[in-house]
Chain A
Amino acid sequence: DAMVIQNPRYQVTQFGKPVTLSCSQTLNHNVMYWYQQKSSQAPKLLFHYYDKDFNNEADTPDNFQSRRPNTSFCFLDIRSPGLGDAAMYLCATSREGAPGYTFGSGTRLTVV
């Protein structure tokens, strides 16, 4: 089945140690999103790729970066994780002109 896959499901990292989360999709969707979701809060958009074009939200900290080497893969890099970066990170995809979004299962990040 076509889907969005996030790895790993759970990630524990040390304070200040760089960490990379990955997302892959078999839907051939041209838009990919990274969201941060903390407990009892709405998903917060960090950035998204429209095809190869990177779009950063104004309030996304510089600590967060992303790469999209090809249509299928997208990575979230956290350069120096702080305790406040502990959250669920969600990857989603969509296709231009078609409503709706498909989410991955998320990566739960713990910072110790």
Chain B
Amino acid sequence: EDQVTQSPEALRLQEGESSSLNCSYTVSGLRGLFWYRQDPGKGPEFLFTLYSAGEEKEKERLKATLTKKESFLHITAPKPEDSATYLCAVQASSGGSYIPTFGRGTSLIVHP
């Protein structure tokens, strides 16, 4: 069974204090790993897709990396507007491969 575990559950940072969110996964062959941002009361907003170990993607202050067991979302010099819940999901390359498995998310609060 595919599993996704995100840590920490909640993270409080001061503005400018860089940190990383973790997404550990177990999947029978990885088709893709996805990071989403979710603001309160809204649907998840797509951030990145990673396909293979060693891959990295960047968008503004965010950088996502992938290994064979986990992914990190690095946040460099965060701003209060980066406050949100960050969801990780994986898509397997076998079986019901189009069904994603989500983690519970990391709630990030950035204080000014």
Kindly state the separation between the CA atoms of A101 and B105 in the bound complex, as whole angstroms. 17
Tally the A-B contacts, defined by beta carbons under 8 Å.
53
If A105-B43, A106-B43 touch, does A42 touch B87 (CB 8 Å cutoff)? Answer: yes
Hey, which chain B residues are within 8 Å of A45, CB to CB?
99
Instruction: Assess the A101–B43 pair: CB atoms within 8 A.
Output: no
Question: Contact string, A13-51, partner B, CB cutoff 8 A, digits 1/0?
Answer: 000000000000000000100000000111101001010
Q: Which of A50, A100, A105 contacts B46 (CB 8 A)?
A: A100
Contact B104 A94 (CB under 8 A): no
The CA-CA distance from A43 to B6 in the complex, in Å, is 13
Determine the main DSSP class of B at the interface with A. Answer: strand
Is B34 interfacial (CB 8 A cutoff)?
yes
Q: A40-B104, A42-B105 are in contact. Are A104 and B43 (CB under 8 A)?
A: yes
Extra pairs beyond A4-B43, A40-B9, A45-B99 (4, CB < 8 Å): A96-B98, A99-B51, A100-B32, A102-B46
Chain B interfacial positions (CB closer than 8 Å to A): 4, 9, 31-32, 34, 36, 41-46, 49, 51, 87, 89, 91, 98-100, 102-105, 107
